[in-house]
Copies of this chain bind each other. A is one copy, B any other.
Amino acid sequence: MLRMRRITDQAFIVLAEMLREPRTVTTARALSEATGIPPATTAKLLKVLQRNQLLTSTRGAEGGYTIACNPSETSILTVIEAFEGPLGLTECSLPGLIGCDTHDTCQLGPRWPAISGAVREALRSVTLLDLVYGSTPAIRPSHVHRSTAHG
């Protein structure tokens, strides 16, 4: 399903903080203090990022976390899917899922994957670097409407 929980949001905040000094080893505690996110939550979220190869970790004294990915090549979709699982708009559109409860009666099977694909693409087109230092517009103007809705 299409969702983004608070912890994913917090992961971006932590990543943004880490990207201020890439290559540096930072402890969970330090990141918690820098961002204001509760220590235990910060620790939990860092483990997820580590398990998904976005960070490397070193245990023990002088240990901590380091950015393990190239921020200009890592899309925010990667981060989102690390926390939320594969992004689909509905249960039906999840890859590998054959059918949901109402699958036999429902009419809208075939289109969802295309729509999910479009959303996925929008998220894939934004890198971590864009997110933090939004210099290059990774999103082409034609996709972004600055007009009415979120003015």
Contact = CB atoms under 8 A, between A and B. Distances in A.
Interface of A: 1-6, 9-10, 12-13, 16-17, 19-20, 34-37, 76, 86, 88-91, 93, 95, 101-102, 104-108, 110-126, 130-132, 134, 137, 139, 143-146, 149-151
Contacts of A35: 102, 105-106
Given A90-B9, A150-B95, A117 B130 contact: no
Contact of A105 (B34, B93, B132, B150): B34
When all copies of this chain in the complex are counted, the total is: 2
Given A37-B102, A117-B150, 7 more contacts: A1-B4, A1-B9, A17-B105, A114-B139, A118-B125, A118-B144, A121-B145
